[in-house]
Chains A and B, each alone.
Chain A
Amino acid sequence: AQSVTQPDIHITVSEGASLELRCNYSYGATPYLFWYVQSPGQGLQLLLKYFSGDTLVQGIKGFEAEFKRSQSSFNLRKPSVHWSDAAEYFCAVGALPPGTYKYIFGTGTRLKVLA
């Protein structure tokens, strides 16, 4: 069965430190992959997406993610975290099954940033 795992429920980093949020998926083919961010009480904002091609994708707000087929991973990274990055981050897998454009979401990682 298709699934998305975000192993870290909570992550705390200091402002200016680097960040990596993990996402692993289970799917028989190369899926469409997304990272979204959600501030408290708000909707989800798309950070970046991977469909094909270059496995390192750049997104908004200085975020990037790398698709690693061999590890079934799509980890999100940022070199230097800002206090405004504190939010919840969701990884999602799309096109399941093909043609329905349905997503499966991970359970999210809540990021706390220390001043």
Chain B
Amino acid sequence: DGGITQSPKYLFRKEGQNVTLSCEQNLNHDAMYWYRQDPGQGLRLIYYSQIVNDFQKGDIAEGYSVSREKKESFPLTVTSAQKNPTAFYLCASRPGQQETQYFGPGTRLLVL
């Protein structure tokens, strides 16, 4: 069953802690994206990757880091430098040479 999975569904972060959100896809899509969603602000792009071992900053990359070592995986680390990390995080993927992005179910990050 092909799709995009994100784990965990809920994640709690303590002050000063780094946390990593997982995004995996078995659709053989080339590109992957991370978005942050806050109420009333729509989705904002954090990072994106069009091929393995390459990624670019989006509009709000400060305080976040990513890696793309495998085509199927694009983990997002929320570092302690991100002072307001509470949000809903969405991962998406896109087939090569196509415009349409497909989204995972999301991870909600909460700060303790």
For A107, give its contact among B41, B58, B88 (CB under 8 Å).
B41
A44 to B, closest residue via Cβ: B103
Give the complex CA separation of A106 and B37 in angstroms.
12
Per-position contact with A for B56-69: 1 when CB-CB < 8 Å, else 0?
10100000000000
Name the prevailing secondary structure of the A interface residues.
loop
Q: Are A106 and B42 in contact (CB under 8 A)?
A: yes
Give the complex CA separation of A44 and B94 in angstroms.
14
For B101, give its contact among A41, A51, A103 (CB under 8 Å).
A103
Q: Which residues of the partner chain B approach A108 to less than 8 Å between Cβ atoms?
A: 40, 42
Q: What's the interface size class on A, roughly?
A: 20 to 34
Residues of B in contact (CB 8 Å), total 26
Q: Are A49 and B103 in contact (CB under 8 A)?
A: no
- In residues 19-75 of chain B, which contact A (Cβ within 8 Å)? 31, 40-45, 48, 50, 56, 58
A-B pairs with beta carbons under 8 A, tally: 54
Q: Verify if A67 is at the interface (C-beta below 8 Å from B).
A: no
Q: Which residues of the partner chain A approach B103 to less than 8 Å between Cβ atoms?
A: 36, 43-45
- In residues 86-101 of chain A, which contact B (Cβ within 8 Å)? 90, 94-95, 100-101
Give the complex CA separation of A108 and B6 in angstroms.
22
Q: Are A42 and B99 in contact (CB under 8 A)?
A: no
Q: Which residues of the partner chain A approach B31 to less than 8 Å between Cβ atoms?
A: 101
Q: Are B104 and A107 in contact (CB under 8 A)?
A: no
B41 to A, closest residue via Cβ: A107
For B104, give its contact among A32, A43, A95, A103 (CB under 8 Å).
A43
User: Can you list 8 pairs linking A and B with CB atoms under 8 Å apart?
Assistant: A9-B40, A44-B90, A44-B103, A49-B100, A100-B50, A101-B94, A101-B101, A105-B43
Which B residues lie at the A interface, using CB under 8 A? 4, 6, 31, 40-45, 48, 50, 56, 58, 88, 90, 92, 94, 99-106, 108
